[in-house]
Amino acid sequence: MARALLMATQQNMIEYATIFLEVEQCHSRKKEDIKMNETSEQILKSRLTQENFQKLAAIDNDEMHDFVAKYIDLCNPGSVFVSTDSADDIRYVREAAVRNGEEENLALGGHTIHFDGYHDQARDKAQTKFLLPEGVDLGPDINAINKDEGLKELKEIMRDIMKGKEVYVRFYCLGPCKSAFSIPCLQITDSAYVAHSEDLLYRHGYEEFKRLGKSARFFKFVHSAGELDERKVSKNIDKRRVYIDTYDGIVYSVNTQYGGNTIGLKKLAMRLAIKRASEEGWLTEHMLLMGIHGPKGRISYFTGAFPSLCGKTSTSMISGETIVGDDIAYLRKMDGVVRAVNVECGMFGIIQGINSVDDPIIWKTLHSPGEIIFSNVLVTNDKKVYWIGKDGEVPASGYNHSGQWTSGKKDAKGSEITPSHKNARFTLNLKLLENVDSNLDNPAGVALSGIIYGGRDSDTWLPVQESFDWTHGIITKGAALESETTAATLGKEGVRKFNPMSNLDFVSIPLGQYIQNNLDFGKDAKNPPRIFGVNYFIKDKEGNFLNEKTDKAVWLKWMELRVNNDVEAITTPTGLIPKYEDLKRLFKHLLNKDYTQEDYIKQFTLRIPENLAKIDRIEKIYREKVADAPKILFDVLGEERKRLTSAREKWGDYIPPDRFAIYAER
Q: What is the pLDDT of residues 173-202, one digit of tens each?
A: 999 999 999 999 999 999 999 999 999 999
For residue 122, what pLDDT is reported? Answer: 84
For residue 492, what pLDDT is reported? Answer: 62
For residue 238, what pLDDT is reported? Answer: 94
> What does the angle CA 420 – CA 364 – CA 357 come to, to the nearest 5 degrees?
75
Mean pLDDT of 368-392: 97
Count of C-beta atoms within a 10 Å radius of residue 115: 27
Mean pLDDT of 265-285: 97
Residue 20 has pLDDT above 50, yes or no: no
For residue 634, what pLDDT is reported? Answer: 98
Name 79's Cβ contacts closer than 8 Å, sequence gap at least 6: 166, 167
For residues 302 and 450, the answer to whether their CB atoms sit within 8 Å is: yes
For residue 3, what pLDDT is reported? Answer: 42
CA distance 326 to 332: 18
Residue 10 has pLDDT above 60, yes or no: no
Residue 633 has pLDDT above 70, yes or no: yes
Q: pLDDT tens digits for 505-514?
A: 899 999 999 9
CA distance 490 to 600: 33
Domain 34-110+117-280 in CATH 3.30.420.250? The answer is: no
For residue 30, what pLDDT is reported? Answer: 40
pLDDT band at 530 (very low <50, low <70, confident <90, very high): very high
Strands, E, within 282-400: which ranges?
A: 283-285, 288-293, 299-305, 322-325, 329-334, 337-342, 346-350, 372-375, 378-379, 385-386, 397-400
Question: If we measure between CA atoms, which residue out of 172, 86, 175 comes closest to residue 441?
Answer: 175
- Which residues are bridge partners to 291 per DSSP? 301, 322
Question: If we measure between CA atoms, which residue out of 637, 607, 328 comes closest to residue 471?
Answer: 637
3-state secondary structure of 505: helix
Q: pLDDT tens digits for 614-623?
A: 999 999 999 9
pLDDT band at 495 (very low <50, low <70, confident <90, very high): confident
Lowest mean pLDDT among 101-110, 174-183, 398-407, 478-487: 478-487
Mean pLDDT of 381-404: 96
DSSP 41: H
What element of type H or E holds 250? strand 250-254
Which amino acid, residue 567?
Answer: V
Mean pLDDT of 375-391: 97
pLDDT band at 644 (very low <50, low <70, confident <90, very high): very high
Q: What is the CA radius of gyration of the chain?
A: 25
Mean pLDDT of the chain: 92
pLDDT band at 27 (very low <50, low <70, confident <90, very high): very low
The listed CATH number (3.30.450.20, 3.10.180.10, 3.90.228.20, 1.10.8.100) that belongs to domain 283-344+439-583 = 3.90.228.20
CA distance 275 to 250: 12
Q: pLDDT tens digits for 122-170?
A: 888 889 999 999 988 877 778 899 999 999 999 999 999 999 999 999 9
Output b/e per residue, 419-446; b: 16+ Cβ within 10 A.
bbbbbbbbbbbbebbebbbebbbbbbbb
Question: If we measure between CA atoms, which residue out of 628, 631, 633 comes closest to residue 138?
Answer: 628
Domain 348-432 in CATH 3.30.360.10? The answer is: no
Residues composing the chain? 666
The structure's pTM equals 0.92
Q: Which of 177, 185, 310, 345 is flagged as catalytic? A: 310
For residue 136, what pLDDT is reported? Answer: 86
Phi, then psi, of 563 in degrees rounded to 5: -65, -15
CA distance 193 to 177: 24
Q: Clarify whether 185 is annotated catalytic.
A: no
> What does the angle CA 560 – CA 561 – CA 566 come to, to the nearest 5 degrees?
155
- Which residues are bridge partners to 203 per DSSP? 173
CA distance 351 to 246: 31
Strand-pair category, 372-375 with 425-429: antiparallel
User: Where are the domains positioned within the chain?
Assistant: 1-30, 34-110+117-280, 283-344+439-583, 348-432
Mean pLDDT of 572-586: 98
Strands, E, within 431-554: which ranges?
A: 446-454, 464-466, 482-484, 496-498, 530-534
> What does the angle CA 586 – CA 588 – CA 591 come to, to the nearest 5 degrees?
90
Q: pLDDT tens digits for 46-87?
A: 999 999 999 999 999 999 999 999 999 999 999 999 999 999
Q: In the chain, pLDDT over 90 holds for what percent of residues?
A: 86
Which amino acid, residue 75?
Answer: C
